[in-house]
């Protein structure tokens, strides 16, 4: 994970935040060992809290990896609720299924192998919570694909707003201010996403400096 907050602050947030379980600890160990980019426990706990606060019953993920964020989401869902995982890597999706099965969640879990933006077209709304964590240059496309399927009062969370392998918040900020910058395609994708959600009259967005930076959009 790239450094946004000082290590001691991150340690405090993880200590003070919601506790995970043995499966999540194993998933964290896997991410550290393999260098796999996951949202981390401070963001994961916040995702679970958002589901509880909004009373979300249907969740859709654009890019699920090995199921880390979905596991946190599912911890707040109940029998009859639904969460959709999407992933282009079959091995990662198989890992997600194994971890989710071990969690013993009551919600209906759907596993979709393939392009997330194409997948969401096959689903009817409404969704109450959406995570956008696919290719950064396609974030705006993902939001547009799900926009009409968002329930009133729903939340959309987008990862990597501040940093990622090819994203740095200073470049994104300069793009948002209309300045000239030699930014990467991913940074331009993040800026385009933020411009899109900020221009939507029915949406309100804030960026939080936890994990690698998340944008939380509330649909009024």
On the question of pLDDT at 1 being above 50, the answer is no
Q: Which two tokens stand for residue 167?
A: 């994203």
Which residues are registered as beta bridge partners of 132? Answer: 62, 158
Fold of 7-219: Rossmann fold (3.40.50)
Q: How far apart are CA 172 and CA 162, in angstroms?
A: 8
On the question of pLDDT at 181 being above 60, the answer is yes
Select from 69, 60, 78 the least CA-distant residue to 40: 69
Q: How far apart are CA 214 and CA 220, in angstroms?
A: 19
Which residues are registered as beta bridge partners of 219? Answer: 203
Contact 190, 137 (CB under 8 A): no
pTM of the entire structure?
A: 0.95
> pLDDT digit string (tens) for 183-196?
999 999 999 999 99
H or E element, residue 86: strand 82-87
Mean pLDDT across 93-121: 97
Helix intervals (H) in the chain: 7-16, 22-34, 40-54, 68-74, 90-103, 116-120, 139-146, 169-176, 185-199
What percent of the chain has a predicted confidence (pLDDT) above 90? 91
């Amino acid at each position: 994970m790239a450094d946004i907050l000082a290590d001691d602050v991150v340690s405090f947030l993880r200590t003070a935040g919601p506790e995970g379980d043995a499966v999540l600890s194993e998933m964290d160990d896997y991410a550290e060992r393999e260098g796999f980019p996951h949202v981390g426990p401070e963001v994961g706990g916040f995702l679970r809290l958002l589901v509880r606060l909004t009373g979300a019953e249907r969740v859709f993920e654009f890019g699920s990896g090995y199921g880390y964020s979905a596991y946190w989401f599912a911890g707040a869902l109940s029998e009859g609720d639904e969460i959709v995982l999407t992933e282009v890597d079959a091995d990662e999706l198989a890992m997600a299924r194994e971890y989710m099965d071990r969690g013993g969640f009551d919600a209906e879990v759907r596993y979709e192998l393939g392009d997330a933006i194409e997948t969401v077209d096959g689903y009817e709304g409404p969704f109450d919570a959406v995570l956008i964590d696919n290719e950064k240059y396609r974030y705006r496309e993902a939001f547009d694909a799900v926009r009409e399927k968002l329930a009133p009062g729903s939340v959309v969370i987008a990862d990597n707003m501040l940093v990622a392998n090819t994203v740095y918040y200073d470049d994104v900020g300069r793009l948002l201010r209309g300045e000239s910058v030699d930014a990467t395609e991913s940074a331009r994708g993040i800026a385009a996403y933020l411009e899109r959600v900020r221009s939507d009259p029915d949406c309100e967005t804030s960026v939080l400096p936890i994990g690698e930076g998340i944008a939380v959009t509330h649909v009024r």
